[in-house]
């Protein structure tokens, strides 16, 4: 997988909440791009961004590794990193689709539970860490 460093944040495949925090926190870069996020990550500046905690930072780092913008972790193959980012992206798209379709909360939780089971087959719990 690859992504242009000039691409917008949506191309990273991170959650809407993480994209919003990056836009706000890296505002000094102007229109924040994937390349800006990669530079901030390499400089160790992500944790300094408001609302970027350990989980959001890991989500960003996984995406950057999957796109080859950061070296893979020693214990993770590039293919595995790409799969995890793809699954995260599918989850985010699914959540947004459910909200836009105005699916009732009671039905949404049942559907999400089944979708979660399907995702667990692709990425067993703990395998993406």
Q: What is the pTM of this model?
A: 0.62
Residues 27-69 have pLDDT tens digits of 776 788 989 999 999 999 999 999 999 999 999 998 888 788 8
Asked if residue 4 belongs to a domain, the reply is no
- Domain tally for the chain? 1
Asked if residue 2 belongs to a domain, the reply is no
Asked if residue 69 belongs to a domain, the reply is yes
- Cβ-in-10-Å burial (0-12, 13-18, 19+) of 86 comes to middle
Residues 74-97 have pLDDT tens digits of 776 777 767 777 777 777 777 778
- Structural domain including 98 reads 9-122
């Amino acid at each position: 997988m690859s992504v242009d460093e000039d691409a917008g944040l949506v191309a990273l495949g991170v959650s809407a909440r993480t994209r919003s925090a990056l836009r706000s926190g890296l505002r000094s870069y102007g229109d924040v791009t994937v390349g800006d996020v990669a530079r901030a990550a390499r400089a160790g500046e992500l944790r300094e961004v408001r609302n970027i905690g350990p989980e959001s930072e890991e989500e960003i780092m996984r995406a950057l590794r999957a796109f080859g913008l950061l070296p893979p972790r020693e214990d993770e193959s590039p293919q595995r990193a790409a799969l995890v980012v793809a699954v995260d992206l599918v989850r985010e798209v699914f959540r947004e689709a459910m909200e836009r379709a105005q699916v009732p909360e009671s039905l949404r939780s049942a559907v999400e539970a089944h979708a979660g089971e399907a995702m667990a087959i692709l990425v067993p719990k703990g395998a993406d860490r």
